[in-house]
Structure 1
Amino acid sequence: MASLYTKLVAHTLFPLHERLMQRPTFGYVDELEKSQWLSRAGVEQLQMHKLKLLLQSAEQHSPWHAERIHAAGLEPRSDAPLTLEALRRLPTMTKQDATRNVEQLVWRDIPGGAFKYNTGGSSGQPLIFHYGRLRQASDAAGRIRARRWWGVEVGDREVYLWGAPVELNKTGHIKALRDRLLNQLVLNAFDMSAANMDAYIEAIRRFQPKCIYGYASSLALLAAHARERSTRLRLPSLKVVCTTGEPLYPHQRKLIEETFGVPAANEFGSRDIGFTAHETPDGQMLLMSESIILEVLDTQGNPVAPGESGEAVMTGLCSHAQPFIRYRTGDVVRYANDTCKAGRGLHVIGEVVGRTTDFVVRSDGTIMHALAVIYVLRATEGIDEFKFIQHSIQDVEILVVRNPDWTEQSRDKAVSGIQARLGNNVRIELRLVDSIPPEVSGKYRYVVSHVPLQSGLDSALRESPPTMQPEKI
């Protein structure tokens, strides 16, 4: 039974917060709760309706897209229905396109405002883009619906194992207060020393969350640490552990589920496109089809055969502030030849193959998620691509593919930012290169650490043998 404070958060505090932020989150939640039960054909008809609205908006407010829409012979303002085949007449869009044409893409006067964000995830290619209130609402509403699949409601207690800046500023403290008011406890994934992980375990026990959410590898690391301490976190309140940011490998899933005593459910998404898909209690990864059109294309840009893997090319149907239309994400995915076992019309993703990242380690033994250094490099002007290599505790190499915005100040900013994370005694060699090749395995790893974790914690990183790779993540 929900506590009085949980009800206060669910029915008053969180809805009030979203209204003050001018985000139509709860109206969109109501829409999603209904639309998920449409037939697959009904869902795809809804996608085409939203696509037409997006193209109309892009034609009017984004000159770069308008030129491409006209060149492709599309007429979004006509009464004729749109089709996926017609959409494919548009060329695909790259991160470089989004970065280099930003002034021709952004609708700055969009109602509610266009907000600047920089991202790069584990891709090694930083991107500055803008999002609007509808995109924010889409992400929040999608997660609310996905949590409900697992019996977690708005206002229920959640723990976030998430990234944090080096130092909290005034805004950071305000966000921390907001999180606590909304029944959320945030633990820093960028500062996972043994002492901190002991404290995290105790904090989770005291907080008694219904859901724990965080980077897949960081949650696996915390689970491995708990196992080393012969500690289990089987809380009577806990329903699910939701992982995000990277693939959840079978050994990590097993470790998390054994430690917490509940299922692990993986999430797929990115800052630029937004919340994309979430795993259900039936073990299926469902696309947020009402907000995203996902095409799976081969290296020539053609749709792959049903059941085959290819690059995820996405159209964000709520990305009006800076439209992402046929956007090449660089992720490799596969559609499942399946329908939702619970009867939803949403598309089913069979497999997500993300890029691999490592942890990095400070000289004092503190373990940091790869995003701790990615955040620094993606915020540095003039970087097109990067690769961070930690050869030892005190030796770091950074490969940079620069663009015309690169200056010596960019170099200084990158080096000082990394030293702020890892320590001023770290030796950093930053090398400018023309390109960054993939690993011998063919995978792209943009943060690589050769520093071993302390005994027992390496189980959070070890991948399963090839015969045990997941059918769906």
Structure 2
Amino acid sequence: MNLFDLSLQFNGFPIRKAEHVLKAIQQKNEEDFKLYVAQKKQDIVAYHLKHTPFYKLLAKNTNHLDWNTVPVLTKRDLQQPLKNRLSEGFSKKNVYVNKTSGSSGDPFIFAKDKFSHALTWAVIKDRFGWFNLNFKNSKQARFYGIPLDKKGYYKERFKDTLSNRFRFSVFDLSDDAFKRCLNSFKSNSFDYINGYTSPIVQFAKYLKAQNVILKSISPSLKACVVTSEMLFEDDKALMEKQFGVPVINEYGASELDLIAFQNLEKLWQVNSETLFVEILDKENNPLPYGEEGKIVITSLYNKAHPFIRYDIGDIGVLSKQSTLKKPILEKLIGRTNDIAILPSGKKAAGLTFYYITKSIIEDDGNVKEFIIEQVKKNTFKIYYVSTEELSSEKTKIITQEMERYLEKGLNILFERQNQLQRSKSGKLKQFSSLIQKNI
């Protein structure tokens, strides 16, 4: 067992058991798989109706044998203290707890039981294995954010060590920062790149300007896996050309699981082993394969916290090629992010703001929604919906965090609203720039 697996086992996440369960699910034939999904759907609804007061109240008219009676769960339903939502027998001490990024503008804290979280990692390891990538021998070049507080920073660095990965900052996308990245690729035998789409696209643009093909200076490189933001075809083509390796598209949600992963046939294969994914219309009626609607997901194994018919906030289409065992996500709408250009000329990925705005996320559910707009190079405006107005102390903390992650001299404005402007799909774009720019 490698260091990463040992760390999961040591912290109570039974990865070996999860991998055995996943393998058994995958070995089922189509008919047995249909029975498996039907049974797991019934079981998870019945479990939470019996053991989770929060869900029992929310789904009081539900018959666990009739899926059509199961209500659709929204992020707004979950914006209350976590202790009110946990199932009987679970507390913060015996579950995996984390915060959503707030990328949809609806932040909240969530929990997963330890076996469910182990299954998440089993699925991730399985998908990366499709491309001969593993957490034991494959070294990762990681383009993600990192907390700047001492405890959070060193915790992430320790996890990086266990996972055989080297982290590059997405908070600085300057040429000088990318030059340092390039030097790291020259001196390290990276097997793959993994991280947020927009900063990796910016790195590819830098390589193009320098007339560099990454694989020519880093021959060990095999693939690039992007996540958390929309991947456009022209950006994908640019990355594949400049990196010299395939670009693999991942779609996931921290509160759920890995949702879809590009397979060897270059199709976006949905995780049907631990999730049940539906496409619904505005009235919550199921749509047939090939039609566009909202993506609604059921976590089949999470007993600590109900994510049953959970509206994730994205719009998508399941291909007509889909089957119950092998659904194919043909189209995903949303999760695009702008790049911020600061007065100094420094660029920062839109996902930088996901980390900064975590500072306004509280377990009491005060802040319901928020978006950030860059109105000038030195001016950012935060629009938010909340039960109570943010205190001057809280706005001061947010301003300090913005300057700490980005640069000094920024003007941060706050405006509380009753309702935020949403796109036609009903989704909030958490960060957008109103500045005309050429990047």
TM-score under structure 1 length normalisation: 0.84
Establish whether residue 305 from structure 1 lines up as the match of residue 288 from structure 2.
Answer: yes
In the TM superposition, residue 336 of structure 1 has moved relative to its aligned partner by: 0.9
Instruction: List aligned pairs for 1:351-366, cutoff 5 A.
Output: 351-366=331-346
1:114 correspondence with 2:95: yes
How far off is 1:58 after superposition?
1.4
Superposition deviation, residue 432 in structure 1: 1.2
Superposed displacement of residue 452, structure 1: 5.7
Q: Take 2:14 and 2:389, find their aligned partners in 1: how far apart are those partners? A: 37
Alignment of 1:377 with 2:367, yes or no, is no
Q: Tell me the equivalent position of 1:251.
A: 234
Q: 1:198 to 1:295 in 2, by over 3 A?
A: same
Aligned to 2:318: 335
Change (3 A) 1:420 1:14: closer
Q: Could you say what secondary structure the match of 2:277 adopts?
A: strand
Q: Which residue identity does 1:237 align to in structure 2? A: S
Contact 2:314 2:332 in 1 (8 A): yes
Contact 1:217 1:252 in 2 (8 A): no
Change (3 A) 1:403 1:68: closer
Query: Residues 211-232 of structure 1: CA distance to partner in whole angstroms, max 9, x if unpaired?
Result: 2111111111111111111111
Give 1:400 deviation, angstroms: 1.2
Shift of 1:384: 1.2
Structure 2 residue aligned with 1:436:
420
Q: Does 1:157 align with 2:126?
A: no
Shift of 1:413: 3.2
Alignment of 1:232 onto 2:206? no
Contact 1:190 1:369 in 2 (8 A): yes
Question: After superposition, what is the alpha-carbon deviation per residue over 1:245-290, rounded to whole angstroms, capped at 9, x for unaligned?
Answer: 0111001100110011111111111122222110112011111111
Other-structure match for 1:462? none
Distance in 1 separating the partners of 2:168 and 2:88: 34
Letter in 1 for 2:255: D
CA pair 339-97 structure 1, distance change in 2 beyond 3 A: closer
SS of equivalent to 2:69: coil
Contact 1:286–1:348, Cα closer than 8 Å, also in 2 = yes
Structure 2: distance between partners of 1:96 and 1:423 = 33
Structure 1 counterpart of 2:190, from 183, 202, 209:
209
Are residue 421 (structure 1) and residue 405 (structure 2) matched?
yes
2:263 pairs with one of 274, 280, 304: 280
- Distance change (3 Å), C-alpha of 1:268 and 1:193: same
Name the residue aligned to 1:348. 328
**Out of 300, 303, 306, which is 1:323 matched to?**
306
Instruction: Say whether residues 1:219 and 2:200 are aligned partners.
Output: yes
Shift of 1:386: 1.4
- Write out per-residue CA displacement over residues 39-88 of structure 1, whole angstroms, 9 at most, x where no aligned residue: 344333222333333234313331021234552233xxxxxxx5xxx222
* C-alpha distance in 1 between matches for 2:170 and 2:232: 19
* Partner residue, 1:8: none
2:54 aligns with one of 38, 61, 64: 64
The alpha carbon displacement at 1:445 in A equals: 2.3
Q: Secondary structure at the match of 1:448?
A: strand
SS in 1 for 2:141: strand
Unaligned runs of at least 5 residues, structure 1: 1-10, 75-81, 459-473
CA change 1:441–1:225 in 2 (3 A) is: farther
Is the Cα–Cα contact under 8 Å of residues 13 and 114 in structure 2 kept in the other structure? yes
Query: Within 5 Å, which residues of 2 pair with 1:95-114?
Result: 95-100=75-80, 102-107=82-87, 109-110=89-90, 113-114=94-95
Whether the aligned pair in 1 keeps the contact of 2:368 and 2:384 (CA below 8 Å) is yes
Q: Cα gap change, 1:406/1:97 in structure 2, threshold over 3 Å: closer, same or farther? A: farther
Corresponding residue number in structure 1 for 2:13: 23
Q: Is the 8 A contact 1:122 1:357 kept in 2?
A: no
**Amino acid aligned to 2:72:** T
- Does structure 1 retain, via aligned residues, the 8 Å contact 2:374–2:432? yes
Q: Matched residues in 1 for 2:179 and 2:435: separation?
A: 22
- Distance 1:202-1:41 versus aligned 2 partners, 3 A rule: farther
CA contact (8 A) 1:362 1:393 kept: yes
- Give 1:171 shift: 4.6
Identity score, percent: 23
Structure 2 SS opposite 1:379: helix
In the alignment, structure 1 residue 51 sits paired with structure 2 residue 41: yes
8 Å CA contact 1:392, 1:450 repeated in 2? yes
Give the superposition deviation at 1:449.
1.7
Instruction: Provide the secondary structure at the position in 1 that maps to 2:79.
Output: helix
- Cα contact 1:124–1:386 (8 A) shared by 2: yes
Deviations 1:98-128 (A, max 9, x none): 1136433213743971243222442111112
Q: Which deviations, in whole Å up to 9, do the C-alpha atoms of 1:198-220 show, x marking residues without a partner?
A: 11122123222222111111111
Cα distance in 1, alignment partners of residues 389 and 118 from structure 2: 33
AA aligned opposite 1:221: Q
Q: Is the 8 A contact 2:146 2:156 kept in 1?
A: no
Are residues 232 and 334 of structure 1, via their aligned partners in 2, closer, same or farther at CA, if it must alter by over 3 Å? same
Query: Are the structure 2 counterparts of residues 272 and 233 from structure 1 closer, same or farther at C-alpha, using a change threshold of 3 Å?
Result: same
Please tell me the root mean square deviation across aligned C-alpha atoms, in Å.
Answer: 2.5
Whole-angstrom CA distance in 2 between matches of 1:114 and 1:128: 12
Task: Tell me what 2:2 maps to.
Answer: 12
CA distance change for structure 1 residues 108 and 158 in 2, over 3 Å: closer, same or farther? farther
Q: Is the 8 A contact 1:298 1:304 kept in 2?
A: yes
Matched, 1:396 2:380: yes
Counterpart AA for 1:39: N
Match of 2:246 among 263, 276, 284: 263
Give the Cα–Cα distance (whole angstroms) in 1 for the partners of residues 368 and 431 of structure 2: 15
TM-score (norm 2): 0.90
- Deviation at residue 89 of structure 1 after TM alignment: 0.6
Kindly provide the CA deviation profile for residues 356-409 of structure 1, in whole angstroms up to 9, marking residues without a partner as x: 221223333332222222222243143211121112221111111122474444
Q: Partners of 1:110 and 1:68 in 2: how far apart? A: 19
Q: Which amino acid aligns with 1:389?
A: E
Counterpart residue type for residue 302 of structure 2 = S
